[in-house]
Amino acid sequence: MKKHNFYAGPSILNEKVIKATADAVLDFAGTGLSLLEVSHRGKEFDAVMAETNQLFKELLDIPAEYEVVFVGGGASMQFCMVPYNMLRTKAAYLDTGTWASKAIKEAKLFGEVDVVASSKDKNYSYIPKNYTIADDVDYFHYTSNNTIYGTEIRKDPDVKARLICDMSSDIFSRPIDISKYDIIYGGAQKNLAPAGVTFAIVRKDALGKVERPIPTMLKYSTHIEKDSMFNTPPVLPIYSALQTLKWYKEMGGVKAMQKLNEEKAAILYNEIDRNRLFVGTAAEEDRSLMNVCFVMKEEYKELEAAFADFAIKERGMMGIKGHRSVGGFRASLYNAMPKSSVEALVAAMQEFEKKH
Ligand code: PLP
């Protein structure tokens, strides 16, 4: 039976990317050694790092005053690295889910945090729209895609404050106006690479404004100055990221990915709205293109386990179960998920509806 990968992570990669990574694990760039064994300071890996950085910038149209760094620690480390480097007195945060609230918790260790709005009252099923950001904040932090709850902010916010954003689960899914941001960061493991590498796009002249001493490893400038080689970089995820970036370029870049993502999500949301058995959990105008969350309608609740069983065991819909905070189902449609898998899921939903 064909398996369809709807998991929310650790990572969803294109077949070609997995194959190219596997090849390099066996023989890296004709060295006769595995990618896992060669020196990260050798000319072959140096070239990988340089090309990854260059393609990353090219695909996202990143202006010259920014630098891209690859570090460890996951997006969770960025929750503290951001305020460590950027929070002088006060920052504004938008609370749209578990990850946003974890970022808020860390920021509070460094200064005043104004949580301008929260959608916790409705289990984070919508994006708050009415809030004011004080004029004197150092930055406004938000999470563009709420992986667990299936809500997404798909337009770069129009606010006066400088933006900082956690784009862990929707980077490379659409074009971004980078100039509005001081930092964009994310764990690379959804749309870019296997888990183990974290990216940060940093506006260089926004750094160096806080007075507190910052440990060397937690300073963005350390990693900028050393081209992400201050310490041993995670070579395999970086190599794999390069393969993904090459694939994006071949596919037509982020605009092409956006079109594909809109098509895939529309196919599934249309079915959720049409099908008698299911209902979406996120507010319609805030629906994520990356993580589609849905449950059985109240009157069909007792069919939930049966649908999970049918979809997973009989139709190969892997990872379709929802996060425990929402329940029901979550279909993650990251860039690498083919349209044919979404169509297969819709067919399974229709088949199940006919039987019940
Ligand atoms: N932010 C978002 C939006 C996420 O989806 C995740 C993980 O899924 C994280 C942060 C945490 O990332 P990491 O596990 O790399 O620390």
* Rounded Cα gap, residues 307 and 325, in angstroms: 19
Judgement on whether residues 230 and 338 belong to the same structural domain of the protein: no
**Rounded mean pLDDT, 222-247:** 97
Judgement on whether residues 93 and 239 belong to the same structural domain of the protein: yes
User: Which of 249, 266, 289 is where one domain is finished?
Assistant: 249
User: What is the distance in A from the centroid of ligand 1 to the CA of 237?
Assistant: 16
Judgement on whether residues 154 and 179 belong to the same structural domain of the protein: yes
Q: Residue 11: what pLDDT?
A: 80
Cα-flanking dihedrals φ and ψ of residue 291, to 5°? -130, 110
Judgement on whether residues 233 and 259 belong to the same structural domain of the protein: no
- CATH number for the domain harbouring residue 166: 3.40.640.10
Judgement on whether residues 146 and 284 belong to the same structural domain of the protein: no
pLDDT tens, residue by residue, 23-40: 999 999 999 999 999 999
pLDDT tens, residue by residue, 181-228: 999 999 999 999 999 999 999 999 999 999 999 999 999 999 999 999
User: What is the distance in A from the centroid of ligand 1 to the CA of 187?
Assistant: 6
The one catalytic residue in 95, 190, 264, 286 is 190
pLDDT band per the 50, 70, 90 thresholds, residue 128: very high
* Rounded Cα gap, residues 67 and 219, in angstroms: 13
Judgement on whether residues 75 and 222 belong to the same structural domain of the protein: yes
- CATH number for the domain harbouring residue 329: 3.90.1150.10
Question: Do 24 and 239 form a contact (C-beta atoms < 8 A)?
Answer: yes
Judgement on whether residues 327 and 314 belong to the same structural domain of the protein: yes
Range of the domain at 139: 13-249
**For the chain, what is the domain count?**
2
User: What is the distance in A from the centroid of ligand 1 to the CA of 300?
Assistant: 32
ipTM: 0.99
Round the average pLDDT of the chain to a whole number and report it: 97
Please give the number of the atom of ligand 1 that sits closest to the Cα of 144.
3
Q: Where are the alpha helices (DSSP H) in 164-277?
A: 220-225, 235-251, 253-274
User: Which of 249, 278, 293 is where one domain is finished?
Assistant: 249
Judgement on whether residues 236 and 280 belong to the same structural domain of the protein: no
User: Which of 221, 249, 277 is where one domain is finished?
Assistant: 249
Judgement on whether residues 220 and 318 belong to the same structural domain of the protein: no
Q: Are strands 198-203 and 181-187 parallel, antiparallel or unpaired?
A: antiparallel
Q: Give the residue, by CA position, lying nearest to ligand 1 atom 8.
A: 147
- Residue 90 a catalytic site member: no
Q: Mutation test of ligand 1: which of 7, 77, 127, 168 has the most ligand atoms closer than 8 Å to its C-beta?
A: 168
Judgement on whether residues 126 and 30 belong to the same structural domain of the protein: yes
**Rounded mean pLDDT, 65-91:** 98
Judgement on whether residues 267 and 244 belong to the same structural domain of the protein: no
Judgement on whether residues 44 and 103 belong to the same structural domain of the protein: yes
pTM score: 0.98
